């Protein structure tokens, strides 16, 4: 299994396109904690998707998003792009 990580600065309504050469899982979470901001309580908003070949999804709001792809093989071909809102 391969893990691919990146950080994207996206606007609400942007459509993210992830392509991978096989079955994969995506986890995308915002990097801004919700209130309260004490170290014990940090809640991130997140999106999790399982897919094969490619997936399209819409970003719910503007912010910096951490994207992780868990590919089911050791050398996946992949691409990450987006259409602006």
| Matching residue, tokens 């691919």 | 4
Using CB atoms within 10 Å of the CB of residue 79, give its burial: 0 to 12 exposed, 13 to 18 middle, 19+ buried: exposed
One-character DSSP codes across 35-80: SS--TT-----EEEEEEEEEEEEE--SSEEEEEEEEESSSS--EEE
Tokens of 33: 């904690």
Residues in the chain: 85
Q: pTM of the predicted model, to two decimals?
A: 0.76
pLDDT tens track, the chain, 85 positions: 788 899 999 999 999 999 988 889 998 888 765 555 545 444 567 888 898 889 998 988 888 999 999 988 777 788 999 999 8
């Amino acid at each position: 299994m391969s893990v691919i990580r990146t950080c994207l600065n996206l606007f609400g309504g942007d459509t993210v396109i992830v392509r991978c050469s096989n079955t994969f899982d995506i986890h995308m979470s915002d990097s801004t904690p919700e209130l309260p901001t004490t170290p014990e309580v940090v809640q991130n908003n997140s999106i999790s998707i399982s897919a094969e070949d490619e997936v399209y999804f819409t970003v719910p709001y503007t912010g910096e998003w951490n994207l992780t792809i868990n590919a089911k093989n050791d050398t996946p071909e992949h691409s990450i792009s987006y259409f602006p809102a």
